[in-house]
Structure 1
Amino acid sequence: MKSTNYDVIIIGGGITGTSLAYVLSNFTNIKKIALLEKYSQLSQVNSQRNNNSQTLHFGDIETNYSLEKAAKVKEAAEMVAKYITTIGKNEKLYHKTHKMVLAVGAEEIAQLEQRYEEFKQLFPKFKKIGRKEIAILEPNIVKDRDDRENILALCTEDGYAVDYGKLSESFVSHATGSFNLFLNTKINKLNKTKNGYEIATNNGLFEASVVVVCAGSHSLIFAQSLGYGKDFGLLPVAGSFYTSSKALNGKVYTLQIKKLPFAAIHGDPDVAQPEQTRFGPTAKVLPLLERHRYNTISDFLKTSAFTLGGVLSLLKIVSDPIIFRYLIRNLMYDLPFIGKLFFLQEVKKIIPSMKASQIHLEKKIGGIRPQIVDTTKRQMNMGEAKIVGDNIIFNITPSPGASVCLKNAENDTRKVIAFFNENYSFDKYSFNEKKFDKMFR
């Protein structure tokens, strides 16, 4: 076995961990870096292409984003767009596509008109299009729609459907220097030591001066085992997708309910199977940290969600009338036989001609997004959840996930360098050369 003593160890081989490995190995002089992944392949949980929206989010069609948040997400997403169109351009990581957010009816149109005025300077390529232009791009949106039903869309040609699993593999393949990857390496125990951290695994003992945990929901368990994040719990929200034969040419999103942290229903071609259209995600609460892996129930029970404060927080959250109705409605979507009839009404908002016989619930598509619960304030923590400790970082759910992975990696790299009291350095100039500052929009 290779040396088990490292300067930095990254736990977790999804998009967050692999992007950090890429940045640390290419743009710092840290000598010994390792990534530990419990599965036999990278990105087998939420970064796997079937388990996410496959969308590179810029904040333009995400109508729950404020202008301030959209500006930050746009900057971060442009870094990923630069990578996949240059370094990864021959690796089949993405498809370029148009994307739009669709408003149906007078109330939604008024909201979208207002949003356009607020966001058009940030996204100058964003176009406001009506029924005729929509019909050219997406004829099925207009087909069989009542002529009296007004529609409007904000649209751009700068959409990206991304296979984040392949992107994770690309990051590792382009990692340089003395970077080591350990697959099939499950963490049994993480301990603080005098000189850093000791990590007990099924493949032996590893030691590191600095640790960055990028294990999704499991990051909170590791944090709490070391005394961090005791006031946080998890509300695991599972998303499922229905599919049909090709019905859309690009990504079509609907307006977000502002109070909800869950994604609005959208339709788009599958990044690996463009002749198949996915509709979703649905949202239901499951006591799992990884979708379809029921052995993670015991892991969920380890979180602070099952303290008195955690239980009271969850009850308060789900008792909110808007959230309660939303969750009940989404539970119906997964019911056999009648579930698709309920979900069909969501699809018909996008494609009025769609029939129940044309859509199918995919049992193996969809992941789990951990919503962080603040058990002292008894509310959901919207957005990014990161805990920074003594020479250790825990990434729980960077928002909006994969789209900001390189920006998150940049921020973590700066923290890692600070942990070493500047004994190592971050080549900011070379890293900034990899960015597309305001070139996409």
Structure 2
Amino acid sequence: MNNQQNTYEVAIIGAGVCGTALLYTLSKYTNINKIALIEKNTDVALVNSHKNSNSQTLHFGDIETNYTLAKAEKVNQAASLVKYYLLNNDPQQKIYTKYHKMVLAVGKEQVAKLQERYQEFKQLFPELKLIDRTEIAQIEPRVLQGRDTQEQILALYTPEGYTIDFQKLAQSFLNNALNNKTKTIDLMMGKKVTQIIKQGNYYYLNIEGKTIITKAIAVMAGAHSLLFAKSLGYGLDYALLSVAGSFYFAPEVLNGKVYTVQLQKLPFAAIHGDPEVDDLTRTRFGPTAKVLPMLERHNYTTVWEYFQTAGLSIKAITSFLKILADPIIFRYIVLNFIYDLPFIGKRLFIKEVRKIIPTIQLKDLEFAQGYGGIRPQIVNLKTQSLEMGEAKLTGDRAIFNITPSPGASTCLQNAYDDTEKLIVFLGGEYSFNKKQFLDDLLVNQVMSK
């Protein structure tokens, strides 16, 4: 093998919050010495990890009513890694803000379900509690103003709510990785990987006229990861349903995060309201969810890449039609498409916002222009169905993270899992100090509170 200067042990493609979390983990907790981080944009986390492109929420599974107890237990541990990283590395709270959060149950049926859920989840989340109308009014007065006094209402409440600027978190991961002067970390920002070729025991990455060589690759490029995987023969039985989320702004009407109960059968987040992470005078409501044929929101050059990824086969088209033929999903997709339209959009969306703030007026809502990202939903072409949760493919010394679940909240858990795999890929001389990783982020958590 020639040209040691351009040869690496691991190359990471994609510098979002997951790619930088992996870089941080490899640099601090392994004896991997030479790593390349390649990002087609000029800075980290400018796509789905950017604050404009996601709901800014650290998900634990406590008030996400679409989570089973088993999933909540898994997500809680993963999100706790991020929580304690922030508590240890961001004492001035430049990356995150802590709020309370609650999920509202309105009506007899939802109230009964929330009461049942509390009994099931209270052991896992000891700070979670049920609060009634009086307590809700004290914590979030606007939620009760103008609401029918005969309407049954209940909430699951916790003080453990975190709003995070995931771009700043990604920058923190990167800075901490670069602080390790014993490692060689080459940043290739503003450089696009145009081709990956596997020859023998190495991968050759063509990067705009330059070629680098690496023993292992970790593709953390969101929806683009499946495109790279397919180019190497992996994931051929998968396609993507790209779901775009949008938001509306309102004046400051909430003191913390307020969620609504998840609709059954829908893999998309229920409408919620959050204080804006960097502007406390605004509340953000959303997300809406509409299907768009692109891999990146607001980037129309990715439309063709979407069709390359999704495929134009009969099997792919049949799968999409079967999924969208479900009347509940079809109605939801159509309605959410309308939410983004001028004039009529907010006149329909305000009905969803009034489930949280009954007195909000049309003049208070403003479409968040330029906000919202793409959440790729995996379509299994064999079963012709959506696959919920994490989408990850593993090949020969190659990892392709298409979407973590639930998003950036699990970035450090994904980094832990991927580091384990990369160490196995690289062989016996490499090691991962798992104990130190967990000691830093979980064992010492009591001291961080």
Same fold (TM over 0.5): yes
Structure 1 segments (4+ residues) deviating >3 Å = 437-441
What SS class does the counterpart of residue 173 from structure 1 fall into? helix
What SS class does the counterpart of residue 275 from structure 1 fall into? strand
Which amino acid is 1:316 matched to?
K
Structure-2 separation of matches of 1:23 and 1:16: 11
Structure-2 separation of matches of 1:307 and 1:396: 21
Q: 1:195-238 CA deviation, whole Å, 9 max, x = no partner? A: 21000011611110000000000000000000000000000000
Structure-2 separation of matches of 1:89 and 1:207: 39
Q: CA deviation at 1:328?
A: 1.3
Q: CA deviation at 1:2?
A: 10
The residue number in structure 2 matching 1:69 is 71
Which amino acid is 1:156 matched to?
T
The residue number in structure 1 matching 2:25 is 23
Structure-1 separation of matches of 2:310 and 2:301: 18
The residue number in structure 1 matching 2:342 is 336
Q: 1:88-130 CA deviation, whole Å, 9 max, x = no partner? A: 3336110010001111111110111110011000001001001
What SS class does the counterpart of residue 145 from structure 1 fall into? coil
Cα RMSD for the two superposed structures: 1.4
- State whether residues 185 and 203 of structure 1, in contact with CA within 8 Å, keep that contact through their aligned partners in structure 2: no
Which amino acid is 2:199 matched to?
T
The residue number in structure 1 matching 2:357 is 351
The residue number in structure 1 matching 2:8 is 6
**Which segment drifts farther, 87-96 or 384-393?**
87-96
Which amino acid is 2:88 matched to?
T
The residue number in structure 2 matching 1:402 is 408
* Correspondence for 1:376 among 367, 371, 382: 382
Matches within 5 A, 1:25-424: 25-90=27-92, 92-175=94-177, 176=180, 177-202=183-208, 204-424=210-430
Structure-2 separation of matches of 1:197 and 1:172: 24
Percent sequence identity is: 51
Q: 1:305-333 CA deviation, whole Å, 9 max, x = no partner? A: 42211110000000001101111111121
- State whether residues 374 and 380 of structure 1, in contact with CA within 8 Å, keep that contact through their aligned partners in structure 2: yes
Which amino acid is 2:65 matched to?
T
Go from structure 1 to structure 2 and tell me whether the alpha carbon gap of 1:5 and 1:273 turns closer, same or farther (over 3 Å shift): same
Which amino acid is 1:51 matched to?
S
Structure-1 separation of matches of 2:39 and 2:424: 25
Q: 1:211-266 CA deviation, whole Å, 9 max, x = no partner? A: 00000000000000000000000000000000011011100011111311101000
Which amino acid is 2:384 matched to?
R
Q: 1:31-79 CA deviation, whole Å, 9 max, x = no partner? A: 1011100000100100000100100000001100000000000000000
Structure-2 separation of matches of 1:334 and 1:10: 35
Structure 1, unaligned stretches of length 5 or more?
none
Structure-2 separation of matches of 1:3 and 1:362: 46
Give the count of matched residue pairs.
Answer: 441
- State whether residues 305 and 314 of structure 1, in contact with CA within 8 Å, keep that contact through their aligned partners in structure 2: no
What SS class does the counterpart of residue 268 from structure 2 fall into? coil
Q: CA deviation at 1:349?
A: 0.4
Q: CA deviation at 1:420?
A: 1.4
TM-score, length-normalised on structure 2?
0.96
